Amino acid sequence: MNEPISTSEVVPEETPQMGMVARFVGVFTSPRRSFASIKRNHEWLAAILVVLIFGMGSYALTRPYIIKGQLATFEERLDANSNMPEAQKQEILDGYEEQISNPVWLLLGPVFLVIVALIASAILLFLGNIVLGGQAKFLTVLNMYCLTFLVGVPETIIKLPMILSKKSIDVKTSLGLLASSESVGPFMSTILDKFDIFAIWQVALVSIGLSVLTKTSVGKSATVVVIVWLLWVIIQAGLATLGVNFGGM
């Protein structure tokens, strides 16, 4: 006699089926479902391309203000570290302006972004598999991390009008609004600036994505991700006191 089929049997959870565009949109509307649908392909390149299109468009519109801001920062460092004659100082400033205006830096932007994505994904793979005990694959982690780059799209949409209106790149959506760099110094100023609403948003997405890929709780994933992110923030703050600056998270 045939045994009745038990209705209590556990049915394996199916991976959500989403197209690339739906997955990109889902990062903002349903991130957990988007990350669960990630495939082992090279979709990370498409995510980077989207971010670069917005970033390079923004750069084309704000380039004069970016160069002006970089020159002002460089001049402040010259004034703080030397008492050189004005003519010599101007010669150095002119040379620096020519250097940062070189189009080659625009071409190096995509290369730098890819390098950052590869290094960060390798670190996340280590955290996910060794620390959290998951079995994630590098390509899926890379796809997940690059999807979080899409936070840069709403960031550009919000900050671009602010920059054009103010005619300066000194616009903030971070705790840096609470104090000027002159009043707290470069170390604390950098820490405050890194607590930016978009950076925190990306950290939250990375935490969710790593949780999905390693099949661990968001709490455990977030704890690991936030600790590493805070260490990176402190390192950046220390480098800022030496005149080295990093963008992003």
Q: What is the pLDDT of residues 102-138, one digit of tens each?
A: 878 778 888 999 999 999 999 999 999 999 999 999 9
The pLDDT of residue 243? 65
- What is the predicted pLDDT for the residue at 97? 82
Q: Who's near 169: CB < 8 A, 6+ residues apart?
A: 62, 65, 66, 68, 69, 163
**So what's the pLDDT on residue 11?**
36
How does DSSP classify residue 82?
-
- % of the chain beyond a pLDDT of 70: 90
Task: Delimit the domains of the chain by residue range.
Answer: 20-240
Under the banding of pLDDT at 50, 70 and 90, the label for residue 72 is confident
pLDDT of 81 reads 64
Lowest-pLDDT choice from 2-16, 174-188, 228-242 = 2-16
CA distances from 115 to 48, 196, 206 (A): 12, 23, 17
The answer on pLDDT for 41 being more than 70 is yes
The whole-number pLDDT of residue 140 equals: 96
Phi-psi region of 172 (alpha: psi -120 to 50; beta: other; left: phi over 0): beta
Angle value at C-alpha 29, between 27 and 32, nearest 5 degrees: 60
| Interacting residues of 89 by C-beta distance below 8 A, sequence separation 6+ | 75, 78, 82
Check: CB of residue 146 under 8 Å from CB of residue 44. yes
CA dist., res. 193 & res. 183, Å (int): 14
Please choose, from the candidates 204, 172, 180, 176, the residue with its C-alpha nearest in 3D space to the C-alpha of residue 191.
176
- Here the tokens at position 237 are 């703050």
pLDDT at 1 (0 to 100)? 46
Residue 18 — very low, low, confident or very high, per pLDDT cuts 50/70/90? Answer: confident
The mean pLDDT value of the chain amounts to: 87
